[in-house]
Structure 1
Amino acid sequence: MKIGEVGLLTNDVPRLAAFYKQLLEIENDSNDETHQFIITEETTLTIYNDGTEKNNQNQNICLAFTVDDIEKEYEKVLAMGVKIIEGPTKRPWGAINMSFYDPDNNMIFFRSFPKNS
């Protein structure tokens, strides 16, 4: 079994979708106000407004992305003006992680696994 889709429910699909398109450097050619596919390969990431009001206090979910160059990605999210939770930090198991919030306060982790020298 594989996870088929991760969906982010939001009150503002265009705003949140624009954030993820910029963050992930993806263009989906959609400005739909109700539903947008952001990633369509492997596990799908969708942004969706189901018509109910959201409180944007998402304390039980996070998204984690593996990146090649964590410093480059850190500079990109700083330039986007996002709220940083923790800058790039090496973990005891060798990964380098950073965390920040998207515009709806979903927690996002970027992680890299540096190759051993």
Structure 2
Amino acid sequence: MKLTSLRIIAKDIQQSVSFYEKVTGSAAQWYTEDFAELSTSTITLAIGSTRTMKLFGEDFTESAGSKNTITEFLVTNVDDEYKRIKDLTDDIVQEPTTMPWGNRSLLFCDPDGNLINFFTPVSPEAIKKFS
């Protein structure tokens, strides 16, 4: 089994795709007005409008965000990334902080309230794990 993508359902897909393009530095590939993907070297971030859920037999008319799932991005320097993205969101949950497991993490929300973590391994154990 191979995890290939993570899909986010957005109430305003244009706003969300623009946000993720700025956050990741990747350009989106639009397939329809209701579905786009941003590809990184390791995974694809898919973004669908709430209308796409009807294709699965579900009718979600709004996206409530998720506080029990965190989309995580390994970055070279979390402090530099914080300077770059802090004006993209009004919802910084945690400024860069070194966690007990050895990652320096920045936690913030996308326009729909979904949690995003940018992290940089800083302890010898964490650096080894991600190298």
Unmatched 5+ residue regions in structure 2? 52-59, 125-131
Match of 2:99 among 88, 91, 104: 91
- The 1:55/1:48 distance shift into structure 2, 3 A limit, reads closer
Say what the alpha-carbon RMSD is for the aligned residues: 2.0
Alpha-carbon deviations, 1:23-43, whole Å to 9, x = none? Answer: 111113649530001126432
Higher helix share goes to which structure? 2
Structure-2-length-normalised TM-score: 0.78
3-state SS, counterpart of residue 56 of structure 1: coil
1:2 and 2:10 are equivalent in the alignment? no
Task: Give % identity.
Answer: 24
Count of aligned residue pairs for this structure pair: 116
Instruction: Say which structure, 1 or 2, has more relative contact order (CA 8 Å, 6+ apart).
Output: 1
Q: Which amino acid counterpart does residue 33 of structure 1 have in structure 2?
A: E
Match of 1:68 in 2: 76
Stretches of 4+ aligned residues off by more than 4 angstroms? none
State the AA in 2 paired with 1:77: I
TM-score, normalized by length of structure 1?
A: 0.86
- Structure 1: runs of 5+ lacking an equivalent: none
More displaced stretch, 43-52 vs 22-31: 22-31
Q: Which has the larger radius of gyration?
A: 2
Secondary structure of the 2:62 match is: coil
